[in-house]
Amino acid sequence: MASNNNLKIHEHFKVVPQSSSTQTTTLPLTFFDTLWLRFHPVERIFFYTLPNSQSHPSHFFQKIIPNLKSSLSLTLQHFLPLAGKIVWPSEKPIIQYTPNDSVSLIIAESDSDFNHVIENSPHEASLSRSFIPHLESTDSFASIISIQITLFPKNGFSIGITTHHAVLDGKSSTMFIEAWSYLNKKTIETEQHFPTLLPKLEPLFNREIIKDQNELSDLFMNNWKSFLTQMFPNEKGNEKCLKILPFEPKLKDHVRATFNLTREDLDKIKKRVLSKWENFYTNESKPQNLSSFVLTCAYSLICIAKAIHGVEKEKEKFSFAFTVDCRTRLEPSIPNNYFGNCVWGRMVESQPLDFIKEDGLVLVAKSIYDTIKMINEKGVLEGANDVFSKYASLASEKVEMISVAGSNRFGVYGIDFGWGKASKVEIISIDRGLTIGLAESKDGSGGIEIGLVLKKNVMDLFSTLFHEGLCIT
């Protein structure tokens, strides 16, 4: 039994899809996928509280783990490509599943304080990384998902899942976890060995419905290679290398924390923004409404920027990029259960100094609102050819890029494996950049949860700005 930072590894399984196909199957990567080919994986943890009797090691390892393992095998039968690998046999990389391919499943036990791990207040950023599995990648192949289940005796357990972004976006990875949780819960409730999956959770893998009308795939591949050479000059060499690039997590002197904006908070922020709207934009009527996304991002962004600038005075220029789900925005629209990447990134056209101005909230909110309005009017892929040059230009001007991961629409707190809803859900990989992690509020009241990893002194100032700002009437 290996031990590492209070973590005991009990077993390492290779879970094969149940009744797996005897045929080798392949899937092409679309232009939405190739954008993320060597990008860091998305790492997410679901924490579940258990009664004392169920979280006793003997019960957990003899009853709960076999159930989770068998339901995972059953789920993978519906999601065969996830057990495969990304390979690059000829001109373009592909997803390839061959018989007996499997998913890595680590079973571990931690003596960390469960309540400390899941608390919202700042704690060491490295702590949660113990509960996330590594995703294997080499020059010649990349695994697609890996999973780690960690027991916290007498308290609960976590399911950590690491996913390759070139195969699935946030909506798809959430759908897979929903499918697994549904089948696991059904197995417990009905004692059926082969429950059927709900139609809405059946994945659609047909890549032909994504039309690459502007040959964006080739453009992205070429620009991506050039862009990565600039970012990682030591990674030159094999053009077909599939090893994930070293976007190292920021852990030293960094802390992880979660903040909440209630429905009332969001209404207060909205009134503040709209009350000043016409002072700045005299030729435009103010909008009837502003989405929770616009309000949450704008408020979080100005607090982050002002906190960073407050600690590191030389950092004063900021920009914001977010991803848009394109499923309903393409012609023809893509079915909701399409499984793969169908997101596109957009940069907000704001002035880099707007984020730290006194009225930064209204300036940034307006910029995000305008960007979404332009997407709705001109199409989600408008200006796609310029994305790399825009990013390179901002980087050369030493602009701090802030991005967002997750969504308050995924419903992650509703995912129940049979032992109740999650006590905490965290996107761990936000520590690999300056990223806001979003989820819906756990209490289902319409608020939004914000996850952050920042330097400790920056987080302290952010917390002060965030909470004081909500007290302003």
Three-state helix/strand/coil letters over 24-82 = CEEEECCHHHHCCCCCCCEEEEEEEECCCCCCCHHHHHHHHHHHHHHHHHHHHHHCHHH
Catalytic residue, from 165, 265, 354, 431: name it: 165
Within 8 A by CB and 6+ apart from 469, the residues are 299, 303
Return the closest-CA partner of residue 343 out of 296, 375, 320: 375
251 φψ region: left (φ > 0), alpha (ψ -120 to 50), beta (else)? alpha
Return the closest-CA partner of residue 381 out of 349, 327, 345: 345
Check: CB of residue 346 under 8 Å from CB of residue 375: yes
Q: Which residues of 17-47 are buried (b: 16+ CB within 10 A; e: fewer)?
A: bbebeeeeeebebbbbbbbbbbbbbbbbbbb
CA dist., res. 55 & res. 466, Å (int): 36
Return the closest-CA partner of residue 43 out of 457, 425, 413, 375: 425
Check: CB of residue 34 under 8 Å from CB of residue 216: no
Helix, strand and coil content of the chain, in percent to the nearest 5, comes to: 40, 25, 40
Catalytic residue, from 325, 370, 416, 460: name it: 416
Instruction: Establish whether 169 is a catalytic residue.
Output: no
Per-residue tokens: 45:
């943890």
Return the closest-CA partner of residue 14 out of 100, 104, 83, 148: 104
Q: 67: exposed, middle or buried (C-beta count within 10 Å: 0-12, 13-18, 19+)?
A: middle
Per-residue tokens: 181:
């949780």
CA dist., res. 464 & res. 33, Å (int): 39
Return the closest-CA partner of residue 115 out of 123, 103, 105, 107: 123
CA dist., res. 60 & res. 162, Å (int): 23
Instruction: Establish whether 139 is a catalytic residue.
Output: no
| Residues annotated catalytic, as ranges | 165, 416
